[in-house]
Amino acid sequence: MGYLIKVREEESNNQEPKEISPENGKNFKLDELYKMLDCKMIEIVNLSACQIMIIDEEGKMNDAPYNDMATYYFRKAHPKNHDFIVGNALVCSSNDIE
């Protein structure tokens, strides 16, 4: 199980993470991640010893929209890092991906 953090749509102020489960009920597969994040290459960012964030590796290069909620979680885990997250993001346990 994980939480999908979609990019905020301009007409909506709501950007609540959506709880999701892998299609097979066990772990997220690579093709599933590509589809969910709308990307061709993923990047795994560690948030803690057991929690990760999966994002689009090429998002900034492709001018994906800024994701303020995902950036908030990233900076909370890495307070000295002022980088930012673009595009959709998935937060889950490192055991939830295959």
For the segment 13-63, what is each residue's pLDDT rounded down to a tens digit?
667 899 999 999 999 999 999 999 999 999 999 999 999 999 999 999 999
Q: Where are the domains of the chain?
A: 2-96
Rounded mean pLDDT, 54-80:
96
Q: What residue type is 10 in one-letter code?
A: E
pLDDT band at 3 (very low <50, low <70, confident <90, very high): very high
Instruction: Report the C-alpha gap between 58 and 40 in whole angstroms.
Output: 8
Its pTM stands at 0.91
Kindly tell me the burial class for residue 12, based on how many C-beta atoms sit within 10 Å of its own C-beta (0-12, 13-18, 19 or more). exposed
Question: At residue 76, does pLDDT exceed 90?
Answer: yes
Residue with tokens 């749509």: 9
State residue 5's pLDDT score: 96
State residue 16's pLDDT score: 82
